[in-house]
Each structure stands twice: as structure tokens, then as C-alpha cells.
Structure 1
């Protein structure tokens, strides 16, 4: 199955990015990078996205995660494992020793994913240890895209859930991500994942799906859950979530850190306006050096 076949099941189709970007009725949910030819993009409204997410296509990927030992992440990872087992989803969750800071620990992600991808010979899906499966994610089963992850606002790449297929292009993306994490241990993993995606897509055919952040439930008052179950999910005004994203890092980052935030630590908020615009406009002529991707601090 091709990406075009996959989205056609939900009544969607591809067209050149300028047309998709000009569409006021939805957001770009997928992109086909074709160096030397015309790129293509798919736009969908919320109902189109829901139709895409609710259509099972095939076998699930191998879910991959890790946790730092002797930290609260150990218990959270046990909850993740239990939720995967409950839904009969294959997984590989491993313990690692802490490197002394939250940023350094997240920098292990690329290498852990690469090892699982190489060893398994099958599509894999990274999921953070502080998440859990609420219901089987049909949109990841038999997904023909090279890569799928949440991209917010057209430029903000989120790395808590990353689907990676078995194509050579994915191998190049993972190798670049690992290299960047080794070279820049003070930069957030999702910043470097975004840069690895951009550098790979500049010169390589790459089919990407941008997942809607609504696939996940984040911590909120119970009354909002009740309202959504009664009013919004049945009427198709919201995506019924597949993932429980607990966002424990917001509370546990200080626990894991051996010291305060390093003055050179670089996160998503530090991305330059030029890089954000390049991502939103699919401008692969942008300078892919980290110095251009990150805004200079005062």
C-alpha cells in the first residue's frame, strides 16, 4: 500500500504544497518529499483526520521505549508495559542508567530507537515511558509512510510518539539523529530529530505524516473528559484519544537532573524564526546547520 492509497481510504488526496497551504478548510496532514520533482501534500479537516485514524490497515509496529533506573520513570514504564500487553501490542522497553540530567537522558532516545529498528527488521514506534495506550492506535497499523509524528503549528515537531517504517530513508534519518545527539548532548532530542528530518528530506524521497496532537489525552480535569465523551467524540468534533500522555517530565525533570539547567541547553523555544518558516513553507533551501536553526540568545 502506498501513502496515496492509505489516505484515499479516508477520502483524501495529495496536491502540490502551495495549493494545500492555501486551503482554509484544514491543515496539512501528510507530505511527500520528492527532490528533483514537485513535492505533494495532503490537507484534511478534523473529520477527514478522524476517518484516517479510525481505519485499521494491517499489523502493528514494535513499540519501543526505555526508562532510567532508580527514578520514578521505572514505575511509569511498568504502566506503559501493562497497557501495551492489555491491547496485545508488541513492545521492547529497556532500562538504562541515568546520565545525570534530563536532556542527556533523552539524548539516548535516538540510539535506542535505531538499535530496535535495526534488530527487529520491522516498523517501530517510539513511545515515551510516561505514556500509556488507551485504545489500539489503528493509524499506526500497516502505515505506509516512512515516518509519522506530531507536528504542531506547522513547525513544532514533538517526539513523544514517532513511527518509523523500514525504508532506507528512515535508516538515513536515524543515523543523522544519532550523530546529532552525540555531537550536541545539550540540545533537546526533539530539536535534533526535527533537524535530522529536515536534513534527510532535503536530498531524499521521504513520505511523512503529521499526526494531530488530539490523538493523545493530556492531564486535565475529569469534567472535561466527561464533556468530551458525551458531546464531542460522538459528533466528530474531537478525536477520541489513543494515548494517555501523562507529561511526567514536567514534574520529574528536576528530580532527574543532577544540577540546574545548563546555560547552553537548547530547546524548542530556541528555534529561529527562519527555520520555523522553512518548515511551515516546505522550503528545503534553508541552511541546515544548527547555528541557523537555533536563534541567537541575547
Structure 2
């Protein structure tokens, strides 16, 4: 199955990128990077996305995660494992020793993912240890895209859930991500993942799907859950979530850190305006050096 076949099952199609950017219907949900030809993109309204997510297709990927030992993440990872087992989803969840800070620990993600991807020889899906599966994510089963992850507002790449197909382009992306994390241990992993994606797409064919942030449920009052179940999901006004994203890092970051945030720590808020515009506009002529991507030196 090709990406075009995959989206056609939901009544969607690709068009030239400039047309999708100039006259978007809803938001751009997929991008075909073709350095030797014109890029293509698919724009869809929410109902089209819901149809895409609810269509079962094939075998699930291998779900991959890790947790730092002797921290609260150990218990959270056990909950994740239980949720995967409950839905019959294959997984590989590994313990690792803490490096002493939240940023350093998340920097391990790229190497753990690359190793699991290489050793398994199959599509994988990274999922953070503080998440859990609410219902089987059909949109990841038999997914033909090279990569799929949440991209908000056209530029903010979120790394709590990343689908990675068994393709040469993904091998190239992962090698670049690992190298960047090794070279810049105080930069957030999702900043470097975004840069690895950009550098790979600049020079190689790459099929990317931008998942809607609505696939996950974040902490909120139970009354909102009830409201959504009664009035929003049945009418197709919201995506019924597949993932419970507990966002434990917001509470546990101080617990894991051995010291306060370093002055040279670089996060998503530090991305330069030029890089944000390049991502939103698919401008692969933008300078891909880290110094240009962030607004202060890494």
C-alpha cells in the first residue's frame, strides 16, 4: 500500500504542495517530500482525519519505550506495558540508568529507538513511558508512511509518539537524530528530532504523516470526558482518543534532575522564528545548522 492508497480509503488525496498551502481545507495532514520533483501534500478537515484514523488496515508496529530505574517512571512504564498487553500489542520496554537530569535521560531516546528499529527489522512506534493505550491505534497498523508524529501549528514537532517504518529513509533519519543527540546532550530530544527530520527531507524522498494532537487524552476533569463522549465524539466534532498522555514529566522533571535547569539547555521555546516559518512553509532552502534553528547558542 502506498501513502496515496492509505489516505484514499478515507476519501482523501494528495495535491501539489503550493496548492495545499494556498487553499488548505482544514490542515495539512501528510507531506510527500520529492527533491527531484514537486512536493505533494494532503489537506483535510477533522471529519476526514477521523475517517482516516478509524479505518483498520494491517499488522501493528512494535511499540518501543524505556524508563529510568529507581524513579517514578518505573511504575508508569508498568502501566504502559499492561495497557499494551491488554490490547494485544507487541512491545519492547527497557530499563536504563538515569543520567542525572531529565534532558540527559530523554537524550537516550534516539539511540534506544534506533537500536530497536534496527534489531527488529519491522515498523516500530515509540511511545513515552508515561503514556498508556486507551484503544488500539488503527492508524498505525499497516501504515505506509515513512514517519508519523504530531506536528502542531505547522512547526512544533512532538516526540511522545513517533511511528517509524522499516524504510531506508527512516534509517537515515534515525542515524542523524542519534548523531545530533550525541553532539548536543543539552538540547531537548524533540528539537533534535525535528532537525533530523528537516535535514533528511531536505535531501531525500520522505513520506510524512502529521498526526492530530486529538489522538491523545491529556489530564483534565472527568466532566469534560463525559461531555465529549455525549456530545462531541458521536457527532465527529472531536477525535475519540487512542492514547492516555499523562504528562508526568511536568511533575517528575524536578524529581529526576540532580540540579536546576542548565543555562545551555535548549527547548522548543528556543526555536528561531526563521526555522518555525521554514517548517510551516516547507522551505528546505533554510540553513539546517543548529545555530540557525535555535534563537540562542546550543
TM-score (norm 2): 0.99
Q: Deviation per CA, 1:83-115: give whole Å up to 9, x if none.
A: 000000000000000000000000000000000
CA separation of 1:24 and 1:36: change in aligned 2, threshold 3 A: closer
Counterpart Cα distance in 2 of 1:10 and 1:22:
23
Secondary structure of residue in 2 paired with 1:82 = helix
Deviation track 1:200-236 (CA, whole Å, cap 9, x = no partner) reads: 0000000000000000000000000000000000000
Aligned to 1:203: 203
Preserved CA contact (<8 Å) 2:67 2:95 = yes
Contact 2:24 2:43 survives alignment (8 Å): no
Paired position in structure 2 for 1:89:
89
Q: Does residue 26 of structure 2 align to residue 26 of structure 1?
A: yes
CA offset at residue 23 of structure 1?
2.5
Deviations 1:132-166 (A, max 9, x none): 00000000000000000000000000000000001
Give distance in 2, aligned partners of 1:129 and 1:42. Answer: 31
CA–CA separation in structure 1 for the residues paired with 2:245 and 2:40: 31
CA distance in 2, matches of 1:253, 1:296: 23
Residue in 2 aligned with 1:72?
72
Q: How far apart are the structure 2 equivalents of 1:4 and 1:162?
A: 20
Name the Cα RMSD after superposition: 0.7
Separation (CA, whole Å) in 2 of partners of 1:21 and 1:295: 26
| 1:24 to partner: Cα distance | 4.4
SS in 2 for 1:234: coil
Which residue does the alignment assign to 1:130?
A: 130
Aligned 8 A contact 2:9 2:52 in 1 = yes
Displacement of 1:22 after TM fit? 2.1
Aligned equivalent of 1:221: 221
Q: How many residues end up aligned between the 2 structures?
A: 297
Equivalent residue of 1:235, what SS? Answer: coil
Residue 273 of structure 2 corresponds to which residue in structure 1? 273
Length-normalised TM-score, structure 1: 0.99
**Residues 7 and 51 (structure 1), Cα distance of their counterparts in 2 relative to 1, 3 Å cut:** same
2:219·2:246 contact (CA, 8 Å) conserved in 1? yes
CA offset at residue 121 of structure 1?
0.4
- Whole-angstrom distance in 1 between the partners of 2:64 and 2:14: 30
Cα distance in 2, alignment partners of residues 35 and 17 from structure 1: 13
| 1:206-285 → structure 2 map (5 Å cutoff) | 206-285=206-285
Alignment gaps of 5+ in structure 2: none
Question: Aligned-pair distance for 1:16?
Answer: 1.2
In 2, the alpha carbon distance for the partners of 1:107 and 1:131 equals 18
Could you say which residue in structure 2 is the equivalent of 1:157? 157
Find the aligned partners of 2:46 and 2:84 in 1 and give their Cα distance.
27
- Determine if the alignment matches structure 1 residue 194 to structure 2 residue 194: yes
Equivalent position of 1:108 in the other structure = 108
Q: Matched residues in 2 for 1:91 and 1:270: separation?
A: 33
Aligned-partner Cα distance in 2 for 1:24–1:3: 19
2:233 alignment partner, SS class = helix
Deviation, structure 1 residue 25: 2.8
User: Aligned with 2:234: secondary structure?
Assistant: helix
Deviations 1:180-215 (A, max 9, x none): 000000000000000000000000000000000000
